[in-house]
Amino acid sequence: MEPGPPGSSGPAEPGPCLSGQRGADHAASASLQSAARTEPGRHSLAVAAVLPAGGCGERMGVPTPKQFCPILERPLISYTLQALERVCWIKDIVVAVTGENMEVMKSIIQKYQHERISLVEAGVTRHRSIFSGLKALAEDQLNSKLSKPEVVIIHDAVRPFVEEDVLLKVVTAAKEHGCTDYDLEFGTECLQLALKYCRTKAKLVEGSPDLWKVTYKRDLYAAESIIKEIISQEICVVMDSKEDNKHVGHLLEEVLKSELNHVKVTSEALCHAGRHLQQIILDQCYNFVCVNVMTSDFQETQKLLSMLEESNLSILYPVVVVSVHFLDFKLVPPSQKIENLMHIKEFSKKVKERNILLYGLLISYPQDEQKLQESLRQGAIIIASLVKERNSGLIGQLLIA
């Protein structure tokens, strides 16, 4: 058995959990936090998870095993680990991977800062992989940091959308009924295996539409769209606290609100050492529209980018930042300002390394109220497109509304 990176394989500390301290779970798990909090007794039960991840993904029609296929440039299995990790009462997560993918898996754990993960070598079949995982949990190994669990959840590495309430139900059932013979989606062979070789209670997770398995290439497409949708549910309009800047920022905010249904649009000032903004970043908003006071510079955008870079927000998901600039095209021909604003390309290359997708947006600001509304509406459509698609091929572009 091979442990994960230093410090990653120990059990989580008991105590308050699901507080969203390290990003990316808010959108998916918000509804689950209350469920967990109503079951504090659960925390005292020792629960572990085993993920068989030794498959080769032949049905996918792509050379990469499906658990390593990228979704928004991050491997699928990382999403599944993230879903299990956010459940604080799962003390250990044992992943069974083939020897040849061991190094890939280690680098995934390191890059995406996964915790509580241990690695074991997968067997030639799914059952043997599960067996290896259970064995690692059951044995009293000298160097093992694993705690012996009372309940083990067996979960496919290619089911990224598992929710805490399902896991909670399974664990509750397992505790109440032991391993009695359930009617399980995947048959009971795995269960028999667990009963035969281990002194650990085991139960398979029953399937449901939400628990859907990524099997075909079309499932990868669907998963990507679902994830994009989840992280596009909130846009924060960031502006300086100066009055005139605030005015135009709020105008844009209003138009965004009316143009984008199903999206929560908030606004925040860059002042007060950005305390409120810090909270929005902690609460995992992945989309920012930054209103710049001067048409020709990026002062506000640069402040925001620094804050984002300091946070770990973009480790798991690409963060979209739209740097917005206003200009009365009648008074000043846009070409005069464009050359300056084209420097956004250099910034965008730099922050792309940190998984931040930066785009520029120059919005026409005519004196005529109706025309202004129309150009703000055009701007909102462009912002919505950028947020929805998260197209890394178009970073650094200066778009014009």
Nearest approach, Cβ of 347 to its own copies (angstroms)? 15
Among 36, 95, 321, 399, binds its own copies (CB under 8 A): 399
Residue with smaller CB distance to its own copies, 17 or 384: 384
Rounded-to-integer distance, Cα 383 and Cα 360, Å: 10
Nearest approach, Cβ of 335 to its own copies (angstroms)? 4
* 381 scored as a contact of its own copies (CB under 8 A): yes
Residues between 162 and 221 that touch its own copies (CB under 8 A): 209, 212, 216, 218-219, 221
* 398 scored as a contact of its own copies (CB under 8 A): yes
Which part of the chain contacts its own copies (CB under 8 A), choosing from 117-125, 131-139, 169-177, 393-401? 393-401
Nearest approach, Cβ of 212 to its own copies (angstroms)? 7
Among 139, 224, 283, 374, binds its own copies (CB under 8 A): 224
Residue with smaller CB distance to its own copies, 59 or 177: 59
Nearest approach, Cβ of 77 to its own copies (angstroms)? 19
* 63 scored as a contact of its own copies (CB under 8 A): no
365 burial via Cβ count (<10 Å: 0-12, 13-18, 19+): buried
Rounded-to-integer distance, Cα 157 and Cα 51, Å: 6
**Buried residues in 213-237 as b, exposed as e (16+ CB within 10 A):** ebeeeebbeebbeebbeebbebbbb
Which part of the chain contacts its own copies (CB under 8 A), choosing from 188-196, 316-324, 350-358, 376-384? 376-384
* 73 scored as a contact of its own copies (CB under 8 A): no
Cα 54 from chain centre: 23
* 345 scored as a contact of its own copies (CB under 8 A): yes
Answer yes or no: are the C-beta atoms of 328 and 364 closer than 8 Å. yes
Rounded-to-integer distance, Cα 256 and Cα 239, Å: 15
Residues between 304 and 333 that touch its own copies (CB under 8 A): 333
Short-list 228, 206, 259, CA closest to 374? 259
**Buried residues in 78-117 as b, exposed as e (16+ CB within 10 A):** bbbbbbbbbbbbbbbbbbbbbeebeebbbebbeebbbbbb
Nearest approach, Cβ of 97 to its own copies (angstroms)? 26
Short-list 247, 242, 69, 274, CA closest to 157? 69
* 394 scored as a contact of its own copies (CB under 8 A): yes
61 burial via Cβ count (<10 Å: 0-12, 13-18, 19+): exposed
Residue ranges binding its own copies (CB under 8 A): 59, 209, 212, 216, 218-219, 221-226, 333-336, 338-339, 342, 345, 381-382, 384-386, 388-389, 391-394, 397-400
